Amino acid sequence: MSQFILIFNFLVLIGSCLITSTVSAKKYYKHVDDDGIVHYSDKKPGADKDFESWQVRVEDSHPKASVVNRGTDRMPLLYAVNPYHGPISVHIEMTQAINAQSDPPWPKTYNVPATTDYYLGTIEAIKDNKSWSYSYQYSYRLGQNNPTYDAEYAYRLPYRAVGDAFISQGFSGTFSHFDEQNKYAIDIPLDEGTDVVAARGGVVMDYAEDFIKGGADEKNLFRNNFVRIAHDDGSMGLYAHLKLESVVVGNGQRVKAGQKLAESGDTGFSTGPHLHFAIQINQNHNLISVPFKMQYPNGDIKQPMPGWLD
């Protein structure tokens, strides 16, 4: 995720404006439940719920966490807003402090639960009779920071059996599995429209299904349909290159292992129809992939390797 820098000088605040566009858009909703918990979703709440809604462009359809001031200019109360249906970590630090200090002291990394507004702290003048200025920056990463996850868990095949299948690119693959988020991923060529199923139970944390094209052009790196499942041990399963508008689950929905999530496709950075599957964690406020084990059709449990899945 990107890093954000906010600068405040002598209590002068910068406003924002809303820019509309004719690009195809999708509607998102926000509502507060009876327990006071804030929920974000692309599914309209029930008729008995008060909610806010807004349109976003397809290109910007992924939710984005943010840090907002719910206080005043003189006494800012900073909250992390997590729209994801899974935890994230938020790191915040002062980049400039003239007669100013944070309470609690920063830098600090916070674990922010799913779909919540989480209090981070305030910034105040050290001496009230003097001018003061400050700036801070924050960044966020998907997942709980440094979870104790089960590295021995045996994942089932992430697709519905359709006959012979094979792994075309495995861990540390030289075509596209060289960055930390995808180093320990596998690619399984599948005919477009093959059922993609949960390799492990969990909660749908986020998904995208509005992208149409694929290809080995760098412009397609961030135009990828996917489903992300948050597991109970803090790890996350990523299912990518999915078919346009094929996702059949919703954000916040709990799914079981073997349950259909979507259909395989050829969207994003792809040279042909296939499923990209990875297990990821948040390690030291950095999203990385990790090695995992898989149960093969013959019952063997082992690290998946390039070759036939038999």
Q: Are 178 and 171 in contact (CB under 8 A)?
A: no
- Phi, psi of 192, rounded to the nearest 5 degrees: -60, 135
- Burial class, 295, CB count within 10 angstroms (exposed 0-12 / middle 13-18 / buried 19+): middle
pTM of the complete model: 0.79
pLDDT digits (tens), the chain, 310 positions = 445 555 444 332 222 222 222 233 455 566 677 766 556 555 677 777 777 765 444 444 456 899 999 998 788 999 999 999 999 999 999 999 999 999 999 999 999 999 999 999 999 999 989 999 999 999 999 999 999 999 999 999 999 977 788 998 889 776 666 789 889 999 999 999 999 999 999 999 999 988 776 655 554 455 679 999 999 999 999 999 999 899 999 999 999 999 999 999 988 666 678 899 999 999 999 999 999 999 999 899 999 999 888 7
